[in-house]
Amino acid sequence: MEIPEFTCLCPRTGQPDFATLTLDYVPDRRCVELKSLKLYIWSYRNQGAFHEAVANRILDDLVRVTRPRFMRLTAKFYVRGGIFTTVVAEHMARGWKPCATVDLLALPRSLSDLRPTNS
């Protein structure tokens, strides 16, 4: 899911920082409820936070309440001082392994692609 309106404050200057958060996860028994997520994300609006710290705190909080098999939070902060910041924080449950990736471009496009040719 994509959260394009994340804001917090720079802890040094008090200036607003803006980011787009992308949350990828594989749930186990619990999932993220969108309204709760929105309200939680809004709670950072007036808090001072360094980019790396806030990304890790959000991931830790979400992992604690949902206990997913896998979760990745990517925080793409807009430019501040001429520098764009991207922070990626990741969690993987002990013993969980992702399924093999399927390369869709390698699959045949039609049944005729499966038939052997007469040479």
Active site residues: 10, 17
Q: What are phi and psi of 108, to 5 degrees?
A: -65, 145
Say if residues 32 and 62 touch (Cβ distance below 8 Å).
yes
SS (H, E, C) 70-114: EEEEEEEEEEECCEEEEEEEEEECCCCCCCCCCCHHHCCCCHHHC
Q: Which residues contact 97 (CB under 8 A, 6 or more apart)?
A: none
